[in-house]
Chains A and B, each alone.
Chain A
Amino acid sequence: DTAVSQTPKYLVTQMGNDKSIKCEQNLGHDTMYWYKQDSKKFLKIMFSYNNKELIINETVPNRFSPKSPDKAHLNLHINSLELGDSAVYFCASSQDPAFSYNEQFFGPGTRLTVL
Chain B
Amino acid sequence: RKEVEQDPGPFNVPEGATVAFNCTYSNSASQSFFWYRQDCRKEPKLLMSVYSSGNEDGRFTAQLNRASQYISLLIRDSKLSDSATYLCVVTHNAGNMLTFGGGTRLMVKP
Residues of A at the B interface (CB closer than 8 Å) are: 31, 33, 35, 40-45, 48, 53, 55, 57, 90, 94, 97, 99-104, 106-109
Contact = CB atoms under 8 A, between A and B. Distances in A.
A42 B43 contact: no
Contacts of B32: 100-101
A44 B85 CA distance: 16
Interface in B78-109: 85, 87, 91, 93-100, 102-103
Interface centre among B31, B42, B100 (most CB of A within 10 A): B100
Interface stretch (B15-23, B44-52, B57-65, B67-75): B44-52
B95 A31 contact: yes
B46 A103 contact: yes
Nearest to A102: B96
Contacts of A99: 96
Given A101-B49, A107-B43, A108-B42, A44 B100 contact: yes
A54 to B, nearest CB: 9
Nearest to A42: B102
Given A100-B31, A100-B91, A101-B32, A43 B44 contact: yes
